[in-house]
Amino acid sequence: MRVSWTVLVPVMVTAAQGTAAEQAPPLPHSDPVVSRAIARVYPSLVQILVLSTYSDGGREKKTGATGSGVIISAEGHVITNHHVVGRATAIRVVLPTREELDATLVGTDPLSDIAVIKLDLSHRPKGSPPLPIAAFGSSEAVRVGDTVLAMGCPLALSQAVTRGIVANVDLRIPRSIEIEGENVGSVVKWIGHDAQIFPGNSGGPLVNLDGEIIGINELVLGLAAAIPADLAGSVAQQLIAHGKIERAWTGMSFQPLLKDSPPSATGVLVSGVLPGTPAADAGIRPGDRIVAVEGRPVSVRFDTQLPAFTNELLQRTPGKPLALRLARGRETLEVKLSPLSRDAARARDTELKEWGMTGRRLTRMEAIELQRPDTRGIVVGTLRPGGPADKAVPALRRNDVIVSVAGKPVDSPEALVRATGDIVRTAKAPVPTVVGFERAAEKLLTVVEVGIRAPQQPPQEARRGWLPVNTQVLSPRLASALGYKGRKGARVTQILPDGEASGLRLGDVVTRVDDALVEASEPQDGDVFDALLRAYKPGSKAVLSVLRDGKPIEVTVTLLEAPRQENELGIYEDVVLEFRARDISYLDRVKHRWPKEIAGALVSQVDAGGWAAVGGLRIDDLVLAVDGNTVRGVKELEAVLRPMKARKPGEVTFFVRRGVQTLFVEVQPSWGETTEASR
């Protein structure tokens, strides 16, 4: 079965934005009922532009995407999907009027895949009209065959509306849909409909003909699937009120009654009970049937009835005793348990650059799954191939739990960041550090070279002789075509700046340097001529035997000092913005045809998924200035960027030359925690 999230569209393909005056309202539909429904919701429909993070290959990678949302309060609250904004570092929202506003994340819930953001209204012009608000309807009232309108911003385009009918009000997915370890299908029973939605529609409203939100579009399974409004609206209100969702947790898992259960059987089947949980402490066992909760009868015979029961338990108050009636064989038991506050299924990864890995705190559920007595320690997430954690012997692996560093216990990612800072604060190179970790039941030690190895400034080679010309090998075919059959040599293809003084001309074929033959006739001989010149010191003279216009002549040249090569130039590496730059060389100027007055730092590497890459910085961009500060080389680039680690601005603007054009590249980093090694 093909299941598609509908958000994954790069920001770069967003349609060009205009002004409020350019936006025309939707044309009236031939059906006035449809027109009225659109008019009630469309003005509150927004496009959401997001910069987000995810963990991969031992790094926190960044990506740009778009989704949809709908305004649900006069204060600017917008409901959307968790998978649109749940890991956002920067959010910008475009209204149907083309007005653009920044937004912040109010709260997010991966279990229901619902999130709420809030528009920053402080910069709206005075006299701006109040925000249009959409209202929720009842998803319980939805029936198969009802006409519905799916609103959103498909394919990163501007706001759009499609029409269809409800195909299924009990839509369940045969396999689980997981977000950050949470099984969304355990609490969501989707509304299936055939109104077309596409990538970019995620978080947009599903609307009935009364102009009410009856669902939040989430994914495509052939049919489109929307989270019912009753659940989505309830989660949104809790997020607005508290910034998070507090749920009760008993430690039980459930299934519908088995198919061979007698028709008179009621309840829900307890399929599992985790050790050390309220349900285990209350004596509940797998195979028990819960037939009543707080005196209310329970009956779950089908998969479609399970989310409602799961939500019933999750909505109980943590710490408040809960009365359950159980059927165990022929016995009826009355038990009480006190649910705990439900922890996340899996915590978010933290990037640990000095370790070449990501790590996260142990949640209660992970501790149980790993059969650990408590939640102390750091779970190893992803690893960078060849990074310090990966090169340790024994190497750290995914799901190892780090418990000590340099002989001291560490119980959380924050503690590991502090310990790392202490280790690298005064170090000039990575520090071999004893690390204690647990893998299943084993308690192991390893040595990790903690720290970021600074790029080595290249050594300067002894200056050698050189001529400011480019040449090509005189191949046998080319020699015959030019009338030089049987000859070998190097043909001059370009006279570089200052090359006219050498006395050589375009098309000359150099066959000898003093007494040494230029033995160049095959592609692999391309360096023969230059190698002969490097044997001379700068300032020396040499006599070149040259074929010019079919005639042999001699040209006496004075060798210049060879320009520095790329591997001899100063470099700067920014581990936070994740790019590298170097000084420019004489040959760079030749290659790009830059005039002598051009100066800057040449971008030589941009890490995929890094802040610089997401912001649009590219290899071969020449950085001319940063935030208005002129950059004439990597030392000045470093002098401008290093202090920013402490200031942590929301945006860093690079002024670059790209080809013959200049442009501004805006990078929006999330600086996070930094240690001395990354400052």
384 and 272 within one domain: no
156 sits in the region (left: phi over 0; alpha: psi -120 to 50; else beta) called left
CA distance to 516, 569, 630, 638, per residue, from 635 (Å)? 42, 11, 11, 5
Domain contains 431: yes
For residue 236 the two structure tokens come to 């949104």
Q: Which of 44, 55, 77, 83 is catalytic?
A: 83
Q: How many domains does the chain have?
A: 5
Domain contains 179: yes
CA angle 382, 383, 388 (to 5 degrees): 150
Domain CATH number, residue 658: 2.30.42.10
Question: Which of 292, 319, 341 finishes a domain?
Answer: 341
Q: What is the 3-state secondary structure (H, E, C) of 437-496?
A: EEECCEEEEEEEEECCCCCCCCCCCCCCEECCEEEEECCHHHHHHCCCCCCCCEEEEEEC
219 and 103 within one domain: yes
482 and 589 within one domain: no
What is the Cα–Cα distance from 436 to 448, expressed in whole angstroms?
10
138 and 57 within one domain: yes
What is the Cα–Cα distance from 628 to 638, expressed in whole angstroms?
14
- Catalytic site includes residue 583: no
The answer to whether 407 touches 401, Cβ cutoff 8 Å, is no
Q: Which of 44, 68, 202, 412 is catalytic?
A: 202
pLDDT tens column, 431-485:
999 999 999 999 999 999 999 988 776 676 677 999 999 999 999 999 999 999 9
Domain contains 511: yes
- Which amino acid is present at 399? N
179 and 119 within one domain: yes
Q: Which of 113, 288, 574, 588 is catalytic?
A: 113
- Catalytic site includes residue 627: no
Q: From 214, 216, 211, 215, select the one nearest 35 (Cα to Cα).
A: 211
What is the Cα–Cα distance from 48 to 67, expressed in whole angstroms?
5
366 and 316 within one domain: no
- Which amino acid is present at 423? I
What is the Cα–Cα distance from 381 to 357, expressed in whole angstroms?
7
pLDDT tens column, 511-556:
999 999 999 999 999 999 999 999 999 999 999 999 999 999 999 9
CA distance to 152, 191, 230, 309, 342, per residue, from 138 (Å)? 20, 12, 6, 19, 27
546 and 481 within one domain: yes
Question: Which of 561, 579, 602 finishes a domain?
Answer: 561
pLDDT tens column, 197-207:
999 999 999 99
Q: What is the mean pLDDT of residues 493-505?
A: 90
Q: What is the pLDDT of residue 21?
A: 35
* Cα four-point dihedral sign 511, 517, 522, 526: negative
Domain that holds residue 202: 4-242
121 and 20 within one domain: yes
Domain contains 379: yes
Displacement of CA 355 from its chain's centroid (Å): 20
pLDDT tens column, 120-131:
999 899 999 999
Question: Which of 561, 586, 613 finishes a domain?
Answer: 561
**Residue 6: HSE in the Cβ half-sphere, 13 Å Cα cutoff:** 32
Domain contains 423: yes
Residue 27 banded pLDDT, cuts 50, 70, 90: low
pLDDT tens column, 53-71:
999 999 999 999 999 999 9
Q: From 315, 296, 165, select the one nearest 226 (Cα to Cα).
A: 165
pLDDT tens column, 323-342:
999 999 999 999 999 999 99
Domain contains 260: yes
306 and 359 within one domain: no
471 and 373 within one domain: no
pLDDT tens column, 220-236:
888 999 999 999 999 99
Cβ burial, residue 607 (10 Å; 0-12/13-18/19+)? middle
For residue 233 the two structure tokens come to 């609206």
Domain contains 458: no
Strands 289-293 and 322-328: antiparallel
180 sits in the region (left: phi over 0; alpha: psi -120 to 50; else beta) called left
Q: Where are the alpha helices (DSSP H) in 514-672?
A: 528-534, 586-592, 611-615, 634-641, 644-647
pLDDT tens column, 59-103:
999 999 999 999 999 999 999 999 999 999 999 999 999 999 999
Could you tell me the pTM of the whole model?
A: 0.84
570 and 556 within one domain: no
Domain contains 457: no
378 and 446 within one domain: yes
- Catalytic site includes residue 521: no
What count of other Cβ atoms lies within 10 Å of the Cβ of residue 353?
25
